[in-house]
């Protein structure tokens, strides 16, 4: 079955609603369930890839995203926060098998 964009987002909403206990993050739900109906590369824009690379570089080399909170870019902090949440949830899931 091929999904158009509207059907794909409807399927994402359905997948996320399945986890009533919020046992998994939205990223985990999509990672494990969307593979059946969508190519994950569809969601990886150039900006998303850069944000992931920046986040992992900052994490690996302990580089702060800004010199202080007042000079931090709010939108980037929101994106890094979402990536961090998903990254930590993946590590936790991996370590608990």
Q: Is residue 66's pLDDT more than 90?
A: yes
Q: Is residue 2's pLDDT more than 80?
A: no
Question: For the residues of 35-80, what is the DSSP string, one character each?
Answer: GGTS-GGGG--HHHHHHHHHHHHHHHHT--SSSSGGGS-HHHHHHH
Those residues with Cβ within 8 angstroms of residue 65's Cβ, 6 or more apart along the chain or in another chain? 58, 72, 73, 76, 77, 80
The angle, 0 to 180 degrees and rounded to 10, between the axes of the packed helices 5-18 and 26-33 is 120
Phi/psi for 77 (5° steps) reads -60, -40
User: How many other C-beta atoms are found inside a 10 Å radius of the C-beta of residue 39?
Assistant: 9
Structure-block tokens of residue 36: 């059946």
Mean pLDDT of the 64-90 span = 94
Please give the pLDDT value at position 13: 93
Q: What are 12-61's pLDDT values in tens digits? A: 999 999 999 988 899 888 888 887 777 778 888 999 999 999 999 999 99
Please give the pLDDT value at position 69: 94
Q: Is residue 97's pLDDT more than 70?
A: no
């Amino acid at each position: 079955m091929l999904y158009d964009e509207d059907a794909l987002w409807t399927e994402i909403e359905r997948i996320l609603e399945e986890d009533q206990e919020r046992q998994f993050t939205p990223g985990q739900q999509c990672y494990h369930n969307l593979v059946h109906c969508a190519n994950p590369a569809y969601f990886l824009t150039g900006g998303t890839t850069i944000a992931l690379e920046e986040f992992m570089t900052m994490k690996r080399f302990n580089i702060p995203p800004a010199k202080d909170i007042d000079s931090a870019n709010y939108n980037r902090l929101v994106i890094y926060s979402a990536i961090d949440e998903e990254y930590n949830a993946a590590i936790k899931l991996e370590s608990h098998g």
